[in-house]
A and B are shown apart, each in its own frame.
Chain A
Amino acid sequence: MTWIDFVNLLINGLIEGLVVALPALAMTLVMGVNRFPNAATGDMLTTGAYAAVAVQLLGGWPLWAAALGSMVVTALVSAGSYTLIFRKLAGRPMVSSMLAAIGLGFLLRSLISFFAGHDQRTFDLPLVRAWNFGGIRILPTDLAIAAVAAACLVVVFVLIYRTSFGRQLRAVADSADLARASGIRANGLMLSLWLLVGALSSLGGVLLGMKAVVSPEMGWESLIPAFAAMVLGGIGSPVGAVLGALLLCVVQELAVPLMGPSYKLVLSFVVLALVLLVRPAGIMGRVQLVR
C-alpha cells in the first residue's frame, strides 16, 4: 500500500459518506422534531429512486430533470404519510410511531415490487472514464454525486440555521409546548418539514441508484448505515448526522487494507461503540434531560 492507495480509499469513503449523509439527515430531522426514528426513511429512498426511473422511462427526461420530478413525488408521499399516519400518532409513545414507520416501509416496498417487479434497474446515464492524477483516480460521476449531495446539504443547513422556518423548527424541537405558547403554528411547519425530508430522501435514493443499482430493497438495506451515522453524530443534530456519515464511511474504507473488505462494516461499528462510550450523546448531540 502506498499513500496513493490511501488517498483513493479516502476519496471513496468521503463520497460514500456524502451519499449516506442525506438519509441520515432526513432521519435526524424527524427524530429531533417528531421524536421517533423514521424507519420508513430507507423506503422513501427507494420510492425516490423508482420515481426517477419511472420519469426517465415515461418522459425520456435527462437524469437531473427526472431527479427533480422524483423529489416532488417523494415529498408529496412523505407529507401524505405524515398527515395520514404520524400526525395522528403524535401524542402516543415513540414505539407506536416507529412501528407505524416500519409498516409504512413494508407497504412502500411491496407496492414498488408489485408494480415494478424485482428485477434491478439502472438510470440512463453515460459512463465516463476516471480522471487519473498520477494514480489518484476520480470518477466524474462520483464528483457529480458529491457536488449534488454537498449542495443539497448546504441548502438544508441554510434553511435550518438562517431562515424563520428553521428557527421555528428548532424551537419546536427544543420544546413543543413552549413553541406553541409563543404562537408557532405547528401544522404548516410540520408539513414543510416532511416535504423537505421527502425531497431529501428522494435525492439520496437517486444518488444511491447512480452509484449502485435500483432495486426494491436498496433503501431498506442502507437504513442501518444511516441510522448508525445519526446515532454517532448525536440524535437530532443535523451537522452531527453529516459528520457521523462521513466518519463512518471513511473509517470503513481505510480499514480495507487492514482487515479486508468482509470486515470493514464491523470496524465502523466498533468506532460507533467507542465514540458512544466516550461521548454518550454522540459527536454533536447534547445530553437531554428525561422529561
Chain B
Amino acid sequence: MQRRNFVKLGGAAAALQCLPSIGFSQQGDVFRIGSLTPITGAGSPYGPGMQQAIRLAVDEVNAAGGAGGRKLELFTEDDQTKPDAAVLAAKKLIEVNKVQAVLGTWASGVTLAVMPLTDAAGLIQMNVSGAPAISTLDTKDLVWRFQATNDRFGAAFAEICTKRGFKRPATMAFNNASGLGNVEGFTKVWEKRGGKVAAHVTYEPNRPSYRSELQKILAAKPDVIVMGSYLPDTTIILREWFQSGADTKWIIPGWAANPDLVKALGAEVCEGIISVDTVSNEKSASYAQFDAAFTKATGKAASTNIYAAMAYDMVISLALAMEAAGPKATVEQINAKMRDVSNAPGTAVFTFAEGKAQLAKKAKVNYEGASSKLDFDKAGDVTPDFGVFIIEKGQLVRRDVVSITM
C-alpha cells in the first residue's frame, strides 16, 4: 500500500512539475535539471529520498539567488530501475523538458543505458552507479560519479583484510560486472601488497543451491571469503555455509549484507559478518546542514539513505560550476569547471552560498560535500570513505571507517 501511494504521489508530483514549466518556460534565463531516480523497482528504497535531496539542493541554490545569474528549474522522472523505462524517461526529459543535465541514476544498467543519450545531446550526467565500465565509456568527460566504483570497493576490502590480520583470503563472485569488479579490485590491491588469494570462484546466478561452489572454495581453507554478490545468492550461500558447519569469516558489500539478510537468516548465522559500505562525509559542516534539512523534509535522518547526500552534492557542485563559469555559460563550459570547484586546492566551502561568496571574490573554492570530500579523478569518479560494519546479535554495528587512495 505504501509503495502504491508513493507511486501515485510521485506521479502527481511529476505531473505538477510539468504544469508551471508550460507557463514560465519563456520567462527569464533558467538552467533546467532533470532528476532521474528509481522511484519504483529495486532502487525504490533510495530513489524517492534522492529526488527529495535534489529538490532541497535546487531550493537552496535558488534561495541564494541562483547560480551564474540563472535559477534552477527541476523536472522529475522515475527510471523504474529498468534500463528501457529509463531511456524513455530520459528522452522525455531531454526532448520535451529540454534539460541540460540528467541527475540521479542509480543502477549501473540504467546509467549505461542513459549515457549514450546524454552524451549525444552534450548534456551533463551524474550518477551513483558502481560499474567500472561507466568510466571507460565516458569519452567526452560529461559523466560524474558520486559513489565508489566496484574497483574501489575491492580496494577497501583489501584494506580491511590487512587491518584485521587475515592471511588467506578467497573470493567468490556473482558472474556480472559488479560482482567481478569487486573481487578483481580486491585481488589487484591484495596482490600488489604481496598477498596471495587462496581460491577464486565465479558462480552463475539463480541456482537453487551453491553447495558445490562452497565446497570448492572451502577446500582451499581460506580464513576469510571476500564476496562480490547480491542479496538472494548471499542468502542461499550463507545458509548452506552455516548448515555445513564451516567457520570462515566473510567480507560482503553492504547492499548484500544488510538488515534484510539478517531477517532472512537470523542473528546466529550472521554473527561476525563484515559488511562494507561507503559512508557520508559525516564530520563535515555540509553533512550537518544537509542532514538537518533532509530530516525536516522527510522525517528520516540522512544516514538512512547514503545516496541522498550524493544526490544533494550533485546539484550543489553543478551550481558551483555554473557560478564559476559565469553568466550565459554553455553546458560544456560549466562541465569544464566541475573539478575546479570540487577538488583541492582552494578555500574549503561547505554550502552553496559560501562558495558563491568566495567565487564573487575571485577566490578558488573546494567544495567539501555532504557525501564525500568530493574530489573527482581523471575519470570523473570520487573516492568516498568506507564504513566497516560488523553484524553483532543481528545488528549492524559500525566498528571502523577506512579511507583508500586510488
Contact = CB atoms under 8 A, between A and B. Distances in A.
B3 to A, nearest CB: 7
Interface residues of A, number: 38
B244 A139 contact: yes
A12 B212 contact: yes
A206 B240 CA distance: 17
A109 to B, nearest CB: 14
A256 B202 CA distance: 11
A257 interface: yes
B242 interface: yes
B127 to A, nearest CB: 21
Contacts of A9: 212, 215
Contact of A132 (B208, B209, B245, B264): B245
A174 interface: no
Interface in A92-150: 117-122, 127-130, 132, 137, 139, 141
Given A9-B215, A127-B243, A139-B243, A221 B260 contact: no
Contacts, number: 92
A120 B232 contact: yes
A137 B370 CA distance: 50
B212 A213 contact: no
Contact of B213 (A19, A119, A261, A265): A261
Contacts of A129: 242-245
Interface in A225-264: 253, 256-257, 260-262, 264
Contact of A256 (B216, B245, B269): B216
Contacts of A16: 208-209
Contact of A127 (B202, B215, B232, B269): B269
Contact of B243 (A15, A120, A141): A141
B211 interface: yes
B266 A130 contact: no
A137 B244 contact: yes
A261 B202 contact: yes
Contacts of B116: none
B41, B175, B203, B209 pick with most chain A CB within 10 angstroms: B209
25 contacts: A8-B215, A12-B211, A12-B212, A16-B208, A19-B208, A117-B3, A120-B232, A127-B269, A130-B244, A130-B245, A137-B245, A139-B240, A139-B244, A141-B243, A208-B208, A211-B236, A212-B207, A213-B264, A221-B206, A256-B212, A256-B215, A257-B216, A262-B175, A262-B202, A264-B204
The 9 closest A-B pairs by CB, nearest first: A221-B206, A122-B264, A256-B212, A211-B208, A261-B213, A212-B208, A262-B202, A12-B211, A213-B232
